[in-house]
């Protein structure tokens, strides 16, 4: 793997995934769509960590450990975020991110 595919190729794929996720998180009006974009960005970061582990420090496990912690945090984020979406839907009857603006001055 390391001989056949250069590290840059993996990093470019991860960067593309990150930018697509950023676009999704910024451009979706639906709160669930925003969360999906955030998940894409977290996945891109994970690919980066695993690629760096594999190519640069294959004998240490730190990269994979970090990736697992990020998956853990992403799971917590998804659970709380979707619970908030459901609570917002119940109280405001909308999941549009632009309509939930009661904190706006």
Q: What are phi and psi of 3, to 5 degrees?
A: -80, -35
Tell me if 74 contacts other proteins by CB under 8 A.
Answer: yes
- Of residues 84-103, which lie at the interface with other proteins (CB under 8 A)? 84-87, 89-96, 98-102
Tell me if 45 contacts other proteins by CB under 8 A.
Answer: no
Dihedral angle at the C-alpha atoms of 26, 77, 64, 41, nearest 10 degrees?
Answer: -10
Query: Min. distance of Cβ 72 from other proteins in angstroms?
Result: 5
Query: Min. distance of Cβ 90 from other proteins in angstroms?
Result: 6
Size of the site for other proteins (CB under 8 A): 82
DSSP state of 1: -
Contacts of 95 (CB under 8 A, 6+ apart): 30, 31, 32, 85, 88, 89
Name 30's bridge partners: 96
Tell me if 64 contacts other proteins by CB under 8 A.
Answer: yes
- Of residues 3-32, which lie at the interface with other proteins (CB under 8 A)? 3-5, 7-13, 15-24, 26-30, 32
Tell me if 50 contacts other proteins by CB under 8 A.
Answer: yes
Between the CA of residue 6 and those of 84, 89, 98, what are the distances in Å? Answer: 41, 46, 42
Tell me if 40 contacts other proteins by CB under 8 A.
Answer: yes
């Amino acid at each position: 793997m390391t001989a056949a595919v250069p590290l840059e190729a993996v990093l470019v794929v991860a960067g593309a995934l990150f930018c697509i996720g950023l676009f999704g998180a910024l451009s979706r009006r639906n709160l669930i769509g925003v969360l999906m974009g955030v998940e894409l960005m977290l996945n891109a970061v994970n690919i980066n960590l695993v690629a760096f582990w594999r190519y640069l420090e294959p004998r240490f496990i730190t990269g994979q450990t970090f990736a697992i912690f990020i998956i853990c945090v992403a799971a917590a984020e998804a659970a709380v975020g979707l619970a908030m979406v459901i609570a917002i839907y119940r109280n405001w009857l909308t999941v549009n991110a632009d309509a939930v603006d009661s904190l706006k001055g």
